Amino acid sequence: MANSPEGRLSVSMVEVADGQEAAFLTIAREFSVIMAKKNYGRTDIVRDESTANMFYAVRHWASASAAEACHADAEVGALTSRLYRIAKVTHLVNGVRRASAAGPLADDRRTRGSESDRRSGFDRRRADLGRPTGERRKGDRRLGPRRLRGRTGGIDLIAAARRARENADARFSNFKVGAALEAVDGSVIAGCNVENATYGLTICAERVAMFKAISEGHRAFTRIAIVADTPTPTPPCGACRQILWEFGGNLEVVLANLMREEARHQLKTLLPLPFDGRLLR
């Protein structure tokens, strides 16, 4: 894939904070200059005309090695730090992936669990891989990779879930749900419920978000927000709790409606006796 034109294309959605559009465009211009000057490739910035302060960053890599060099570039790292202070970035297309320890570098360096950990249900964040209790670290949680440690402000995960809810296809129940899953690198992957005339094929928003995240290469997560238009919190169903545990471990679960946050739980309290890979050994 890395040697084909399609394999060298990466796309990210950038949601810029209010009042920071000029700063973002300045960063984008500086990044374009570095890309061209150092022969990494080129980048295009496309404005989403339907949503204020939303842009798409399209990177056309010269090669897999150029992408790797760009990710290791100190100038690029400084620009990335500035970007993450004023914008939320969601990776949509990852055109250059690491095939092996010496292979092409993944576009956003997502953390991956080992194959033996795939079904463990443990918290898979970078410093906790394979913890026997499935518990999160105490203190300094949800910081993820180093590039997020100096970031000001937080990710509005509930807002992302509310936006996702608007896309729900709930033609039979009229009960729309949105979910937004946060990966350790700060990426936000959203999902909505999609219903089917064969009711058993209906899929919940939480599972849509998780399956999208897995398909895009994410393997480590910190929390998920779930939004429904109800006066009381709407927790994930049993099937979703199992899937979230299977791939996310002891996530933080944030429940909200269209007006406010209602509750927070650790997944282990919602699924106290989970079935996972430890029982298959």
- Quote the CA–CA distance of 268 and 249 in Å, as a whole number: 8
Report phi then psi at 47, rounded to 5: -80, 135
Give the integer Cα–Cα distance in Å for 126 and 98.
17
Looking at this protein, which amino acid is placed at residue 222?
A: T
CA-closest candidate to residue 221, choices 80, 140, 122: 122
Q: CA–CA separation, 181 vs 91, rounded Å?
A: 13
Q: Which of 68, 195, 206, 252 is catalytic?
A: 206
Residues 196, 188 contacting (CB under 8 angstroms) = no
Alpha helices in the chain (DSSP H): 21-37, 64-72, 74-86, 157-165, 205-215, 238-248, 267-270
Give the integer Cα–Cα distance in Å for 10 and 280.
38
Q: Is 195 a catalytic residue?
A: no
Residue 201's region, left for phi above 0, alpha for psi from -120 to 50, else beta, is: alpha
Report DSSP state, residue 186: S
Distance CA 280, CA 13 (A): 39
**Which residues does the annotation mark as catalytic?**
206
